[in-house]
Amino acid sequence: MPHHGTVKSKALARALRGNGVPATQTALRKTALHAIHRSLGAKMVHFGGWEMPVEYGGISAEHMAVRTGVGLFDVSHMGDIQLRGPQSLDAVQQFSMNDASRLQVGQAQYSAMLTPEGTFVDDILVHKLSDNDYLIVVNAGTREKDHAWIRQQAQPFKGHVSDYSDFYTQLAIQGPNAVDVLQKLTDLPLGEIKNYWFRWGKVCGLYNVMVARTGYTGEDGFELYIPSDEATGARVWHELLAAGEEFGILPCGLGARNTLRLEAAMPLYGHEISETINVWEAGMGRYAKLDKGVEFTGAAALRRLRDEGGPARRLVGLEMVDRGIARDGYKLFNVAGEPVGEVTSGSPAPFLRKNIALAYLPIEYTDPAQSNEVWVEIRGAMVKAQTTPMPFYKRPKPAQGQTQ
């Protein structure tokens, strides 16, 4: 029998009322597509200060649509911060651990902003719009913090920092058929846009739409940045759904976005990365360009941490061996019953049909060459799991026009 009041377990009644955040606590933001989500019967949740659709007709179906066909997400909650001016590259190089000097116009780069301790302010996507113009896409829940941080970091450099988040409706069309659907609605030669590149072109009759071959699903796809008025958002949303009908397109919510990124082992801020987790622990050293010629914020700490012998704990992938689902915050134990770590994200994986999780474990459990057994405390019971290489899911082969 499960005992009372275990971690994360809730009475049905409470679970059904939402995530327990009182409605009066903060004014929730709504995207331009809010009325459409409601009319489609979406279940709404609070996420990062926003009221967002978590699912329309079932997380598993939406997840599968993206893996095998195509899905459409409203990701307008993401923040968009622009740096403009003669020293905007210097500013980006200061707060971004990756090397933005390698970017060409029209190219995007995954990176992170670090604290002076080498931990995460946020993970970001840097887009080079022109020689003196960069767009930084940041997480919804950290938008204000990130804006203030970028402002402060950019202060010594000539240029402007602007929060343009409210000017864009951001849509993500994802899945192996995303290219086929979007191609019907644009004259841009999508096949020529490589992974992590973007272009501007006409989409649904709108001029100058930024179309980026990016996403957060582990699948091919595009992200579109369109004007944030309701009428335009609604029109593009409906045209994409209509164009995708022949491929079985589904509108997809944050639930599927989370299970998709988890299968692809992409980190989520506040879970795998945070201000208490450093780059080495998160296994994101490949994005930290310590030799880029700019002493970026956090670089000194990263060097020191490396020279001190590397991290004591590391992010690992887990697969449940016995029956049970590891959830965020569940505790991990070794064979001797000693506590060794905690799950940062855990869920059933609808495409893989396994129960998977990401977790931090002491370095001795994280050798990717072998699988180590650990036990997850699930509502009072110890359930066996094993470490497994990441990502859990990798898409079969790149679509045409894609590079890895």
Partner 1 sequence: MSYPEQYRYTREHEWIEVQNDCGKVGITDHAQHTLGDIVFVEVPKIGTHVEKGRVFGSVESVKAVSDLYSPVSGEVSAVNEELSGSPEHVNANAHGAWIMQLKLSNPAEVETLLTAADYEKFVAEETGH
Beta bridge partners of 378: 381
Comparing CA positions, the residue from 266, 404, 324, 379 lying closest to residue 2 is: 379
Q: Is 43 in the site for partner 1 (CB under 8 A)?
A: yes
Q: Coil, strand or helix: which one is 351?
A: coil
Cα radius of gyration (the chain): 21
Q: Which is nearer to partner 1, 37 or 128 (CB)?
A: 37
Using CB under 8 A as the binding criterion, the count of chain residues that bind partner 1 stands at 30
Q: Is 2 in the site for partner 1 (CB under 8 A)?
A: yes
Q: Which is nearer to partner 1, 10 or 238 (CB)?
A: 10
What is d(CA 88, CA 133) in angstroms, rounded to the nearest whole number? 7
> Looking at 9, 68, 183, 402, which residue binds partner 1 (CB under 8 A)?
9
> Looking at 186, 347, 366, 387, which residue binds partner 1 (CB under 8 A)?
347
Minimum CB distance to partner 1, residue 9 (Å): 5
> Looking at 325, 352, 363, 382, which residue binds partner 1 (CB under 8 A)?
325
> Looking at 28, 30, 60, 110, which residue binds partner 1 (CB under 8 A)?
60
Q: Is 20 in the site for partner 1 (CB under 8 A)?
A: no
Give the CA-trace dihedral at 21, 23, 29, 34, to 10 degrees: 100
Q: How far is C-alpha 317 from the chain's CA centre?
A: 17
Q: How far is C-alpha 282 from the chain's CA centre?
A: 14
Q: Which is nearer to partner 1, 270 or 283 (CB)?
A: 270
Residues 229-268 close enough to bind partner 1 by CB under 8 A: 255, 259
334: which residues sit within 8 A by CB, 6+ positions away?
A: 340, 365, 374, 375
Q: Is 55 in the site for partner 1 (CB under 8 A)?
A: yes
> Looking at 48, 49, 58, 283, which residue binds partner 1 (CB under 8 A)?
58
Which tokens in the block code for residue 4? Answer: 């009372």
Minimum CB distance to partner 1, residue 59 (Å): 4
Helix or strand holding residue 317 (H, E): strand 313-320
281: which residues sit within 8 A by CB, 6+ positions away?
A: 311, 313, 314, 315, 360
Q: Which is nearer to partner 1, 85 or 348 (CB)?
A: 348
> Looking at 201, 348, 362, 391, which residue binds partner 1 (CB under 8 A)?
348
Q: Which is nearer to partner 1, 220 or 377 (CB)?
A: 377
Contact present, 108 and 197 (Cβ < 8 Å):
yes
Binding site for partner 1 (CB under 8 A): 1-4, 8-13, 15-17, 43, 54-55, 58-61, 255, 259, 323-325, 327, 347-348, 350, 379
